[in-house]
Amino acid sequence: MALLFAPAVLLADGGTLQLRKPAGPWIVTVFSTPVPLRVGVADLSVMVQRANDRDSVLDAQVKLHLTRSSASNVVEIVAPATRAQASNKLLYAARVTLLSSGMWRLEVDVARQGSAALVSGDLNVLPPQPPMKARWPYFVMVPLFVLLFAVNQWLKKSRRLRRPRARP
């Protein structure tokens, strides 16, 4: 039962495709989790491919720059994305904490052997989930286990009643 809920809790490489653009000699693709992207900790994964043959580039330096402007302030987040942080070693990953909902501007800076490219796009970040909605599976598990135990005991009892008694 716990395995059914595990993928919802884990942050993993991949997720929703947020951005895919050619940039110089590369194609840069950005994925995000959780799905949908919400306020709080997010995993942003970047795949860098050569444009001519679509092979993965595994020795680039990738930096993420996120910006959120509002009437009163500007929030900026700069995070290096590395393959060491990614469980899928074809991707570069960074964990960032998104502090507010709304449209965030994402810039991905890719550099490799003297070549550099910049790709940008917008990320729509939703408000955080209400705590009860986010944690409802944990509250359902206890009554579910009690119900399963009761059904088990009922089946055992009904099986004992159906057995014919041995005659001496």
Q: What is the pLDDT of residues 32-75, one digit of tens each?
A: 999 899 999 999 999 999 999 999 999 999 999 999 988 888 99
Residue 16 lies in a domain: yes
**Statement to judge: residues 47 and 90 lie in one domain:** yes
Euclidean distance between CA atoms 99 and 110, whole angstroms: 25
- Provide the pLDDT for residue 5: 47
Domain harbouring 46, CATH code: 2.60.40.2480
**Statement to judge: residues 114 and 154 lie in one domain:** no
**Statement to judge: residues 28 and 102 lie in one domain:** yes
The pTM of the full predicted model, rounded to 2 decimals, is 0.71
Positive or negative, the Cα torsion across 86, 91, 94, 100?
negative
Residue 100 lies in a domain: yes
Question: What is the band of 81 on the pLDDT scale with cuts at 50, 70, 90?
Answer: very high
**Statement to judge: residues 87 and 139 lie in one domain:** no
**Statement to judge: residues 27 and 80 lie in one domain:** yes
**Statement to judge: residues 79 and 149 lie in one domain:** no
How many domains, in total, are found in the chain? 2
Residue 168 lies in a domain: no
Q: Identify whether 34 is preceded by a cis peptide bond (ω within 30 of 0).
A: yes
**Statement to judge: residues 106 and 137 lie in one domain:** no
Q: What is the pLDDT of residues 128-137, one digit of tens each?
A: 987 777 677 7
Euclidean distance between CA atoms 118 and 89, whole angstroms: 22
- Provide the pLDDT for residue 168: 63
Look-up of token digits 């942003």: 44
**Statement to judge: residues 76 and 103 lie in one domain:** yes
Percent of the chain with pLDDT over 70: 87
Residue 24 lies in a domain: yes
- Provide the pLDDT for residue 13: 54
Euclidean distance between CA atoms 87 and 5, whole angstroms: 20
Euclidean distance between CA atoms 20 and 27, whole angstroms: 7
**Statement to judge: residues 100 and 116 lie in one domain:** yes
**Statement to judge: residues 67 and 119 lie in one domain:** yes
Is a pLDDT exceeding 70 seen at residue 164?
no
Please give the residue range of the domain that contains residue 118: 11-125
Q: 86 near 31, Cβ under 8 Å?
A: no
- Provide the pLDDT for residue 116: 93
- Provide the pLDDT for residue 97: 96
**Statement to judge: residues 157 and 106 lie in one domain:** no
Residue 4 lies in a domain: no
What is the average pLDDT score of the chain?
A: 87
Which residue would you say has higher pLDDT here, 51 or 6?
51
Percent of the chain with pLDDT over 90: 61
**Statement to judge: residues 95 and 135 lie in one domain:** no
Q: How many CA atoms lie within 13 A of 53 on its CB side?
A: 3
Q: How far is CA 159 from the centre of its chain?
A: 46
Residue 21 lies in a domain: yes
